[in-house]
């Protein structure tokens, strides 16, 4: 008879899963590289999706895609509700984005990632009925200091005081979108600096939560799926996040209500992902502040990945050299 403690090992994702997930993000990133700078974002995404799906099919877990990709731009998808893995091992929720930053990839710009987040089954918030949410992310200093319902200037001043910095030393990462014009004006009026991101607010949130980066805060309206994925990473970093769903129309608001979501509630990291057993894995497609992109070095393809695990509170970097001939023959 298997003991309760032993049996529990088969019910939850374990540390070995991380390296299996890295294989999937590496494959997606490598397959996307021929399209970098070619202006063909859907082709890049399609190649990454096919590679990620193929590798996930070999992983020893029973995954259900809670957060798929492609729904906002009609690109190829790993769709919500799709089952991935070989059906054995732990039951998991999974969030996937074979390329976070398809436009960045197509334009040859920095900060495109291939990423996967995993948590225990039934723990990820399904916010698919609302495409966007308002977010504010910092490191652990934000707890008891930041309130998303206060003006951004007040939050900047409170964070600066808690960090022992001058307001002029605070840098806020913001997606470069017309909807953020007032937010950017308010940040600069408070005396803080902005770091404008063309895309990729997951990386922006992670950098705001990591120690030793040049970003103190990430704020603004971005994708709801990206908010949940960011929360998976923050569980390992001990970072702070608050969000509020941001329905764009009355119809979308009603869809959220019908799905049981409270559009007026401030959501914290535990509302977005319950429990303390999450993984976040990302491989660089193009160079960025989080990881380097895929590089061809003669007969070698080199990838760099980051692996975060909340159970152990660890951040690992994985640099891998792949024989290019193995990929060219496939």
Centroid of chain to Cα 57 = 21
Q: Is 132 annotated as a binding residue?
A: yes
Residue recorded with tokens 């994925």: 229
Q: Is 169 annotated as a binding residue?
A: no
Q: Is 100 annotated as a binding residue?
A: yes
Q: Is 271 annotated as a binding residue?
A: no
Q: Is 270 annotated as a binding residue?
A: no
Residue 301: helix, strand or coil by DSSP? strand
CA distances to 20, 90, 141 from 25, in Å: 9, 20, 31
| Six-digit token string for 3 | 């003991």
Rg value, the chain, Cα:
19
Q: Is 287 annotated as a binding residue?
A: no
Asked if residues 316 and 306 have their Cβ atoms less than 8 Å apart, the reply is yes
Q: Is 177 annotated as a binding residue?
A: yes
Q: Is 126 annotated as a binding residue?
A: no
CA dist 72 and 230 (Å) reads 18
Per-position DSSP letters for 31-100, written without gaps between them: HHGGGTTTT-HHHHHHHHHHHHHHHHTTSSSEEEEEE-S-TTTT-----TT-EES-S-S-EEEEEEEEEE
Q: Is 211 annotated as a binding residue?
A: no
**Comparing C-alpha atoms, which of 275, 278, 244 is closest to residue 262?**
244
What number of residues does the chain have? 330
Q: Is 201 annotated as a binding residue?
A: yes
Q: Is 102 annotated as a binding residue?
A: yes
Annotated binding-site members for substrate: 100-102, 132, 177-179, 199-201, 223
> Residues annotated in the binding site for Mn(2+), as ranges?
45, 69, 97, 100, 226
The annotated binding site is made up of 45, 69, 97, 100-102, 132, 177-179, 199-201, 223, 226
């Amino acid at each position: 008879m298997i003991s309760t403690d032993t049996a529990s090992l088969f019910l939850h994702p374990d540390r070995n899963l991380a390296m299996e997930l890295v294989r999937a993000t590496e494959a997606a990133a490598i397959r996307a590289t021929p399209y970098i700078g070619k202006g063909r974002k859907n082709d890049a995404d399609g190649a990454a999706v096919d590679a990620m799906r193929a590798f996930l099919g070999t992983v020893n877990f029973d995954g259900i895609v809670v957060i798929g990709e492609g729904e906002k731009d009609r690109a190829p998808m790993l769709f919500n509700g799709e089952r991935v893995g070989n059906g054995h091992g732990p039951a998991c929720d999974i969030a996937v984005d074979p390329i976070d930053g398809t436009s960045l990839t197509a334009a040859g710009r920095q900060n495109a990632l291939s990423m996967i987040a995993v948590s225990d089954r039934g723990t990820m918030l399904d916010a698919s009925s609302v495409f966007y949410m308002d977010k504010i992310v910092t490191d652990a200093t934000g707890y008891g200091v930041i309130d998303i319902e206060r003006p951004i200037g007040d939050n900047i001043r409170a964070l600066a005081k808690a960090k022992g910095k001058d307001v002029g030393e605070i840098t806020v990462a913001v997606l470069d979108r017309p909807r953020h014009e007032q937010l950017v004006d308010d940040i600069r009026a408070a005396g803080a600096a902005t770091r404008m991101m063309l895309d990729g607010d997951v990386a922006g949130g992670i950098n705001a939560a990591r120690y030793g980066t040049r970003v103190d805060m990430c704020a603004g309206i971005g994708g709801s799926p990206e908010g949940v994925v960011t929360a998976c990473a923050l569980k390992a970093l001990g970072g702070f996040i608050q969000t509020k769903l941001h329905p764009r129309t009355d119809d979308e608001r009603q869809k959220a209500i019908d799905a049981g979501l409270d559009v007026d509630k401030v959501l914290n990291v535990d509302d977005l992902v319950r429990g303390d057993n999450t993984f976040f894995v990302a491989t660089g497609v193009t160079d960025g502040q989080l990881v380097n992109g895929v590089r061809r070095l003669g007969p070698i393809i080199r990838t760099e990945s980051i692996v975060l695990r909340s159970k152990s509170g660890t951040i690992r970097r994985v640099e891998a050299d792949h024989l290019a001939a193995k990929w060219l023959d496939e």
